[in-house]
Amino acid sequence: MNDTLKINLQIANMSYPLTIHPEEEEDIRKAAKQVNDCIIKYQEHYVDLPVGQVVPMVAFHFALKNLQNEKRNDTEGYDRKIVELTQMIEEELS
**Domain ranges, ordered by start, for the chain:** 5-93
More confident residue, 34 or 72: 34
More confident residue, 85 or 2: 85
pTM comes to: 0.73
Q: Is the pLDDT of residue 75 over 90?
A: no
Assess contact for 20 and 7: CB atoms under 8 A: yes
User: 25-45 vs 51-72: helix axis angle to the nearest 10?
Assistant: 120
| Termini Cα distance of the chain | 59
Within a 13 Å sphere around the CA of 79, how many CA atoms are in the beta-carbon half? 4
* Paired sense of beta strands 14-20 and 5-11, if any: antiparallel
Q: Is the pLDDT of residue 59 over 70?
A: yes
More confident residue, 61 or 88: 61
